[in-house]
Structures are given as structure tokens and as C-alpha cells.
Amino acid sequence: MKRLFVIFLVLLLAITGCTSDTATEGPEIAEETDSNDLQEEVIEEIFEEDEIEEAVETPIEEAEENLYTEEKEEEKEPLVAETPAYEDLTEAERTETEVDETNNLKIKGLVEKELSLILDQLKEMDIIFEADFYSLNNFGTTGYTHFKGVKLWNLLKEKALIREEASKISIVAHDGYTVEFTVEDVQREYIDETDPTTKYPMIIAWEENGEEYSPSEGAPYKLVVGQKEPGDINKPKWVSNIDVILVE
Ligand SMILES: Nc1nc2c(c(=O)[nH]1)N[C@H]1C(S)=C(S)[C@@H](COP(=O)(O)O)O[C@H]1N2
Ligand SMILES: [Mo]
């Protein structure tokens, strides 16, 4: 291509030279020589080998680069479309794409299956228990509170598959408040000193007096336990905003 162009230019200059030669009757050879020298000079000056290559190749490289850029942009576009901004999602979509497990109920440690559960998963379990739990506080304050939740021992035994060697279960809240129990503490039944006929399992509650905890107020789970024997101060063991159930 470049060679054709050079030949074309040489021809063009030659023709121009000839024309001027024929127009002027003067010394033909001298004129022609001048004209030839001029042609060579012009060609050498403007079209040195390197420059020709540059002149021809640069636009191709640029074109290739542009093509590549366009391809890359085309590839990017669908990806952007597939990940819409969090604000643009509906409530249901947010729940689906939610990776923040802060409010999930986590079970970690000596279990076959470590779990990170959302409320809907707990509600679907066949280990639900609800009752009025009696509480006694440090200063003798008493009361009854209705709780609904899952039985903790069943959760550990049937769902998380607690390991044989496990001995300690710590209920850790988001504020760092922690209550430790032995495996036997979690397995056993509890009483209400005011009503000897009842027996209660230890539960992880999500509903108190008919109302679910609001996730905006932290992890919506509370550990609830009755009394071991009359006089047992059980209220401080009710751990609210549970983060992790740690099995050791
Ligand atoms: N996460 C968390 N749970 C907690 C506590 C706490 O500080 N943080 N205090 C405990 C104590 S000492 C008591 S007496 C009861 C108080 O429960 P109330 O705030 O519902 O009266 O919660 C218990 N659970
Ligand atoms: Mo307390």
C-alpha cells in the first residue's frame, strides 16, 4: 500500500516535471535533473522508511485499541445491569441479596454444622415452645412474661448436630454480655417456684408478650430460662440481642 502511494507520488512529480519541461523551451536536461533531484529530496524528506511505517501503522494500532476498548465496555455493561444499587432493590430482593449476617442467630464451635439462621428459618422448625415464664431478679422483683421461641437443646442436638465432646455453651450478646451454661444446664428442665406443676425448656425467643422483637433494635433473639429450684435468680440469665451461641 505505502509503496503504491510512493510510486504514485513519484509519477505525479514526474508528470509535473514533464509538463513544465514541455512548456518551457529551455535546457531540458538541466531542468529534468533539477526536477529529479527535487523528487528524490521530497520523497526522502517526507517518506523515510521509518516515517512511512509509523504513518501507516499508528492508525491501525489506534483502531485496534479502540476496538478492544469498545469490546471491554460491552462486556462491562451487563455486569453493571445485573448488580443494581442496594437502594434500588425491593424489600424482598434486599433480603435475598443480604450478606450482612449481623442479626442472624449464629451457632459456632463444637458442632457438625455451624449455623447462621434468619428468623424465618427458626419459625419453620418443629421445635417451637411457648409459655409464660416466671422471673426473679436480684432485688426480688418478680414477674411473668410470655415468650415464644425454639428449644435450645433441640436446636443444638438436631439442627447444629452438637459434638459428643462439647461441655460448655456460651450465649454471647452483641453488647458483650455473656452467660455460660454447661451442656447439662441446656438439656435439663426448669421450674417456676410459684407453680410446681410446670416444667420449661431453655428457649431462644423471638416473640415477647405477643410481639416480635424489632430487628432495628438489634438481633431479635433472647435466651429465656426458668428456675433450677425455688429462689433461683433467673432474670439475669435472660440474654437479649444474642449474637453467637458458642459451643466448647
Ligand atoms: N444483652 C444483654 N442482656 C442482658 C443484660 C445485658 O446487659 N445485656 N443484662 C441482664 C440482666 S443483669 C438482667 S437483670 C436482665 C434485665 O432484663 P430487662 O432489661 O428486660 O429488665 O437482662 C439480662 N440480659
Ligand atoms: Mo440485672
Contact status, residue 105 vs residue 116, Cβ threshold 8 Å: yes
241 lines ligand 1 (CB under 6 A): yes
Closest CA to 119 of 133, 98, 140, 134: 98
Residue with CA at minimum distance from ligand 1 atom 1: 240
Alpha helices in the chain (DSSP H): 2-23, 28-46, 49-82, 91-97, 119-123, 152-154, 183-187
How far, in Å, from the CA of 139 to the mean position of ligand 1? 14
175 lines ligand 1 (CB under 6 A): yes
224 pairs with which residues across the strands? 203
Predicted local confidence at residue 83, as pLDDT: 58
Distance, CA of 213 to CA of 160 (rounded, Å): 24
How far, in Å, from the CA of 228 to the mean position of ligand 1? 19
Residue with CA at minimum distance from ligand 1 atom 10: 236
Residue with CA at minimum distance from ligand 1 atom 9: 236
For the chain, the average pLDDT equals 77
Smallest-distance ligand from the CA of 147: 1
For residue 78, the 8-state DSSP code is: H
Percent pLDDT > 70 in the chain is 62
Residue with CA at minimum distance from ligand 1 atom 6: 177
For residue 15, the SS3 value is helix
CA distances from 144 to 124, 132, 137, 186 (A): 26, 6, 12, 21
Distance, CA of 168 to CA of 248 (rounded, Å): 5
- Selected residue with higher pLDDT from 7 and 88: 88
Predicted local confidence at residue 215, as pLDDT: 96
How far, in Å, from the CA of 235 to the mean position of ligand 1? 7
Average pLDDT (140-149) is 98
Predicted local confidence at residue 138, as pLDDT: 97
- Selected residue with higher pLDDT from 23 and 161: 161
Q: Report pTM.
A: 0.66
